[in-house]
Structure 1
Amino acid sequence: MRKTSLALLLAATAALPATAQTLTMGAGAPSTSLDPHFFNAAPNSSVAAHIFSRLVERDAQVRPQPGLAESWRAISDTVWEFKLRPGVKWHDGRDFTADDVVFTFERAPNVPNSPGGFGGFLRMVDRVEVVDPLTLRIHTKAPHPLLPVDLSYVFVISRHAGQGASTEDYNNGRATIGTGPYRLRAHTPGERVEFERNDTYYGPREPWQRAIWRVIANDTARTAALLSGDVDLIDQVPSTDIERLRANNRVALHQIQGLRMIYLQADFSRDGNVPGVTDNAGQPIATNPFRDLRVRRALSIGINRQALTDRVMEGTAAPSGQWLPPGVYSYNPAVPAPAYDPDGAKRLLAEAGFPQGFRMVLTTPNDRYPNDARTAQAVAQMWTRIGIRTEVNALPWSSFSARSARQEFGFRLAGWGSSTGEASYAAINIIGTYNREQRRGASNAGRYSNPAMDALVDRATATLDDGDRERVLHQVIQVAMDDQAVIPLFHLINTWATRRGLNYEARMDESTRAMAAREAP
């Protein structure tokens, strides 16, 4: 009886006309804020993309496309001219102008209490010249060929709504006025965001009158919501459900190689008494063991990455030794995933003065990345086998992200999507030396620092020739991975599941958005 009722329900849901439907998306991770400059995290950007626009947008393969800027060109080595789209209106009916972009650039790097903001994308901007209301000239501190790519990550906000507005003013809707395809309708923090179509949007008209972003962090519940017809699509499809869903003719899967690396990051912010790290008797260790390269290398080669991708991720990820997947510009083929070598790991620990190992806590989110807590548990077991008795502390993403930004963890599991499709994005933001003034290291929660690598990054981002720049970026990757700045584990394969009759354009940047969903013809 249950199966018959479910089948009838699914058939009825699939038969609804597109013009009458509300699209409901089941998201595996919550957006932590509606402030589009508060936190550079994929769920936040996915939600913001419905409401706000950027000068340069990105397609599903993260290639730059015209957005609020119709065109752009370099008019000298350090000056870019952007022609803005005429006739664009904010949701409240006021005109979008170049002055709004100036205001955006002033605010984006300076949001109070941001756990990881957007300053890295604007670090090379020296000043912005307003030629006329629809023409901007952006002057850079040095030649910067990646400026259009950088600007495809910065949402443009209005001066009239944002002047003096706090993050809370965006969260409660007072300042949440954009130029995007949807207007904000309602927001329940951590649970759901409701959108209503913006019929004055400058781009293609959306088929959905309403769209709902509904957070369903539990994997089993998310799949069940799709199968019951409560939602039309889900992201972060549990690896344990993929084959079952693939065989279900009421469901369609949509996949693409992702750019997100799941990695481990040590604390470099203190010399000793690292949180969660003790000797085997439970006493604090006077020096930070993670500052010793031999310890970091031991931890890396003590991980069986193939086992993680086969047994934990069940084929939905590929082992990695760097922050880019193969086939992407600036991927360095000379830096493979490290071979599993537990005996070598034990030797390195002994050389570093830890022949009996030590004890530590590995902290992970439990509702942000596919199988995040399971991955951490598997790594902990592997580390325990090489003599480092590891306990896992699994936290909700909202708590994890805030505490990680305050350097409260000795070792953490995290994820980073290099959605610019090249190496400098991660090198600047997650392992670049933290410096607010230089807008470097905005998401470097471990506070790793390598001035030699920073200098190479600066050289690469000022190199105009693509081939020459790629060669320097190869050096960046080699230097960072030789120093074990982070410990890459694997790259995800992005998967969405939808009800029958709904097409979804899978995106390399893993963004879940109503604009990618269309009824099948």
Structure 2
Amino acid sequence: MKKRSLRRKAPLWLLSAILVCAAAGCTGSTASDAGGDKNVHSGDGDKHVTLLMHFKSATFDPHNDFIPLRAGVTETLTKLDENLRLQGWLASQWEAKGEKTWVFTIRDGVTFHDGTKVDAAAVKASFERAIAASKPLAAGLKIASMEADGQTFTVHTTEPHPALPSEIVSPYASIVNAEAEKSVGKEAFNSAPVGTGPFKVRQFTPNIEAQLERYDGYWAGQPKLQTATVRFNEDANVRAIALQSQEADIVYNIPAESIPSIERNERLKIESVSGLRVHFLLYNQQKPMMQDLKVRTALNLLLNRESVAGDIALGHAAPANGPFNDKLPFGIKEPAQKQDLAKAKALLAEAGYEPGESGKMYKDGAPLELELITYKARPELPLIAQLVQSDAAKAGVTVNIRSVENADTYLAQNKDWDMATYSNLSAPRGDGGFFLNSAYLPGGALNHGKINIPRLTEIVTQLNRTSDSAQRIQLTQKAVAVVNEEIPHSYAVYPNLIVGVNERVINWMPGREEFYILTHTMDVK
């Protein structure tokens, strides 16, 4: 974690993008657009922090949104520590009883925000709610049945599931008082869930903000902060302005081009953390063109990873050689693919495309024209889209860019796209199993391109049944080798997590996992 600023000469396509943005008034928003009053610091002596996030949250339902856990309202049975090792949280210990049974001991002395004791029965009820609310969670946990006895919570799975303790790190596995929902109703509960975290919800305005106050009965000790505000704004320029004007104390996903001006302010700092995320191109294999491996390989060769890392991320990223950061134990050590326009053109020719008089590629009289979906919540992605558009044109490929507000919803509900810029935590549990299952297996929650590679499915299925750590690493790397041969995605860079922080915030650093943001130890000067 360190302050970094790498300045490079911007390429023409990036300069053009910046000029277009300026002409459209991208930086013309006032800081007040970030939401709320100009002075976010409480005037009555309370210790208060304002956190500005880059994605909107339409709900505070902990089983369908990450923000309740990130805001310190809910917690899970297990969590990752700063070294990505699994540790207990609401569970003090756990053990396997045979291949399909796990027994968790629920930590004693924990209460929900309404004072109700957290026991195994409450945990069981919470998981029943979570499984009903979240299909991705249900698919990942593979729970057949559950039992509760005092503080002992037993889970029986439908198949051997050695990774279950790491799967319940998922924010969707947050523990809430499901009984409280029965008295207040689903709508009210999804605006103010009753969790176990250091903060409870005072008021939630969908897509705008959440007002929080500390929970004095928090089991791990009284929180240092008395109140906190979590705000949402997907405009990267507005977020940077909010930090600089001190409307926000902590701002996630600061655009790289804003870093130099922020670092000139001695009251502000940038934390640039090597994370668990990967930016990539996702190919829609529902489209016949994208089913052609030669076309996907050509597009992979057109991707200029070094330009993404250097010219877009300004050094706050590393070229990617697969879905998992090569610094992780299960990441591969091969060099990232270099851009090769000549080879890309040759592959397109093998796929039956020929250049017309204009230089554009044609097949059977139809031009090679692709629809690329992007979204602005992650500021690098639209710029990556423009880089792809520019370099593809050099190979005679026309790329039309369309920006959408909610990429997941659009990609899941529409088939008219060919590829998309996308970003995901590929190792959010400190293990590769989650991403391999959700991104590549048929029916996976992240498999928007309808990928179906039988030999990859076979390896992932074997991984799911394997408990030995060394064998899991080998199987994960074997799966990545298949991914790099079949190219269902083109991996661009491993971006750093870039967070702007006001110097008044103490006892806090952003975590690589991007889960645990507001904590009971966070304080202000």
Question: Is TM (by shorter chain) over 0.5?
Answer: yes
On the 8 A contact 2:281/2:420 being kept in 1, the answer is: yes
> 1:282 aligns to what?
none
Give me the whole-angstrom Cα distance separating, in 2, the residues matched to 1:164 and 1:443. Answer: 34
Taking the TM superposition and a 5 Å limit, the aligned residue runs for 1:399-418 are: 399-408=406-415, 409-417=417-425, 418=427
Q: Would the aligned equivalents of 2:100 and 2:160 in 1 still touch at CA under 8 Å? A: yes
CA distance in 1, matches of 2:301, 2:520: 40
Once the 2 structures are TM-superposed, how far is the Cα of residue 119 of structure 1 from its aligned partner?
A: 2.9
Identify which of 24, 28, 31 aligns with 2:57.
31
Equivalences for 1:112-191 in 2 at 5 Å? 117-123=136-142, 125-130=143-148, 132-153=149-170, 154-162=173-181, 168-173=187-192, 176-191=193-208
Deviates most, 489-498 or 216-225: 216-225
Does 420-429 or 24-33 show the bigger shift? 24-33
Retained in 1: the 8 A contact 2:47–2:524? no
Matched, 1:59 2:77: no
Show the counterpart of 1:370.
379
Q: Provide the rounded CA distance (Å) in 2 between the counterparts of 1:30 and 1:61.
A: 29
For structure 2, which runs of at least 5 residues remain unmatched after alignment? 1-38, 355-360, 363-367
Measured in 2, the distance between the counterparts of 1:262 and 1:30 equals 20
CA–CA distance in 1 between the matches of 2:138 and 2:299? 31
Alpha-carbon contact 1:366-1:373 (below 8 Å) kept: yes
1:212 aligns with 2:211: no
Residue type of the alignment partner of 2:114: D
In structure 2, distance between residues paired with 1:109 and 1:342: 47
What are the ranges of 5 or more consecutive residues in structure 1 without an aligned counterpart? Answer: 1-12, 275-287, 435-440
Alpha-carbon distance in 2 for matches of 1:421, 1:18? 41
CA contact 2:70–2:515 (8 Å) conserved in 1: no
- TM-score, normalised with respect to structure 1: 0.84
Identity of aligned residues (%): 24
The aligned runs of 1:377-388 (5 Å cut-off) are 377-388=386-397
1:305-361 Cα offsets, whole Å, 9 max, x none, are: 101111111111111021111221211224x32121111111111211222251111
**Pair 1:26–1:207, CA change in 2 (3 A):** same
Contact 1:181-1:201 at 8 Å conserved across structures: yes
User: 8 Å contact 1:18–1:519 — kept in the other structure?
Assistant: no
Q: 1:45: Cα distance to partner? A: 4.0
What SS class does the counterpart of residue 370 from structure 2 fall into? strand
Structure 1 442/104 Cα, relative in aligned 2: closer, same or farther at 3 Å? Answer: farther
Q: 2:318 maps to what in 1? A: 318
Distance 2:351 2:177 in 1: 54
Contact 1:258 1:508 in 2 (8 A): yes
Q: Does the 8 Å CA contact 1:28/1:216 hold for their aligned counterparts?
A: yes
CA change 1:516–1:347 in 2 (3 A) is farther
In the TM superposition, residue 53 of structure 1 has moved relative to its aligned partner by: 1.3
User: What letter is aligned with 1:68?
Assistant: L
Equivalent residue number for residue 518 of structure 2: 514
The answer to whether the Cα contact below 8 Å between 1:38 and 1:117 also exists between their aligned partners in 2 is no
Q: Which amino acid aligns with 2:339?
A: Y
1:381-413 deviation digits (Å, cap 9, x = unpaired) = 1222222200111122xx332222224433211
Larger mean Cα displacement after TM superposition, 226-235 or 75-84: 75-84
Q: Cα offset for 1:159?
A: 2.7
What root-mean-square deviation, in Å, do the aligned CA atoms of Structure 1 and Structure 2 show? 2.6
- In structure 1, give the amino acid aligned to 2:512: M
Q: Which residue of 2 aligns with 1:428?
A: 437
SS in 1 for 2:440: coil
Worse overlay, 226-235 or 246-255: 246-255
TM-score normalised by structure 2 residue count: 0.83
Q: Which whole-Å CA distance do the structure 1 matches of 2:342 and 2:470 have between them? A: 40
Partner of 1:490: 493
Q: Which residue of the partner structure matches residue 346 of structure 1?
A: 345
Task: Select which of 472, 476, 481 maps to 1:478.
Answer: 481
Partner secondary structure for residue 375 of structure 1 = helix
State the AA in 1 paired with 2:284.
D
In 2: Cα distance, 1:498 partner to 1:98 partner:
39
Contact 1:18/1:208, CA 8 A, preserved across alignment: no
Report deviation, 1:514. 2.1
Q: Distance in 2 between matches of 1:15 and 1:180?
A: 22
- Once residues 126 and 353 of structure 1 are traced to their aligned partners in structure 2, the CA distance between those partners, rounded to angstroms, is 50
Supply the distance in 1 between the matched residues of 2:211 and 2:63 (Cα, whole angstroms).
Answer: 20
Deviation at 1:458, TM superposition (A): 1.8
* 2:458 counterpart (455, 460, 465): 455
Partner deviation per Cα, 1:15-57 (whole Å, 9 max, x = no partner): 9999722110122222242112225xxxx34655521111112
The answer on whether the counterparts of 2:442 and 2:451 sit within 8 Å (CA) in structure 1 is yes
The answer to whether the 8 Å contact 2:78/2:87 transfers is yes
Note the C-alpha offset of 1:167: 6.7
Name 1:22's counterpart in structure 2: 48
In 2, the alpha carbon distance for the partners of 1:72 and 1:307 equals 46
Q: Compared with structure 1, are the counterparts of its residues 87 and 19 closer, same or farther at alpha carbon in structure 2 (3 Å cutoff)?
A: farther
SS of residue in 2 equivalent to 1:252: strand
Match of residue 50 from structure 1: 72
| Mapped partners of 2:82, 2:40: distance in 1 | 25
For 1:284, the equivalent position in structure 2 comes to none
List aligned pairs for 1:92-103, cutoff 5 A: 92-103=114-125
Q: Does the Cα contact within 8 Å between 1:14 and 1:500 map onto a contact in 2?
A: no
Aligned length: 471
2:221 pairs with 1:221: no
Q: The residue matched to 2:448 in structure 1 has which SS?
A: coil
CA-to-aligned-CA distance 1:94-152 (integer Å, 9 cap, x gap): 222222332333333443xx6x73234313x333232x121012223444332211111
Aligned residues of 2:81 and 2:87 also touching (Cα < 8 A): yes
Q: Which amino acid aligns with 1:348?
A: L
Structure 2: distance between partners of 1:517 and 1:314: 32
SS at match of 2:442: coil
Q: Which one-letter code corresponds to 1:342 in the other structure?
A: L
- 2:471 and 2:44 mapped to 1: Cα distance? 49
In the TM superposition, what is the alpha-carbon distance from 1:64 to its structure 2 partner? Answer: 2.0
Is the aligned partner of 1:468 residue 2:471?
yes
C-alpha spacing 1:294/1:163, structure 2 compared with 1 (3 Å): farther
SS at match of 1:496: strand
Q: Is 1:444 the equivalent of 2:447? A: yes
Stretch moving more, 401-410 or 147-156: 401-410
**One-letter code of the match for 2:383?**
R
Please name the residue that 1:6 is paired with: none
How far apart are residue 476 of structure 1 and its match?
0.8
1:291 paired residue number: 291
Q: Distance in 2 between matches of 1:342 and 1:401?
A: 31
